[in-house]
Amino acid sequence: QVQLVESGGGLVHPGGSLRLSCEFSGSDFRFYAMNWYRQAPGKQREHVASIPSLGRTNYADSVKGRFTISRDNAKNTVSLRMNSLKPEDTAVYYCYAQRLGDEYWGQGTQVTVSS
């Protein structure tokens, strides 16, 4: 059974940076497409960034140029580097793994951007 554990969330001032990490276990990480989603209070969960097992990364327009997704297949981790954070980036951030018909979610980590 795949398990995903996020870490790295917290409180940061506008303009600041955070790095989220997601630790993957329970299967072969190399074959999974990895994603970050977020959900703000009262809003639907939305896609933030994705990195396939092979191929290009993809970002939501709202985070392009500020966020960077990366993966380390040796450590079974996917990270999200978030720069120039804005109050509207405040949300619970979720790690999501997908391979063929299988999909898994992490428990989420809170990111709050506030002065």
pLDDT of 55 strictly over 90: no
Q: What is the pLDDT of residues 67-113, one digit of tens each?
A: 999 999 999 999 999 999 999 999 999 999 999 989 999 999 999 99
Q: Provide the 10 A C-beta neighbour count for residue 34.
A: 25
The token pair at 21 is: 């990490």
Average pLDDT over the chain reads 97
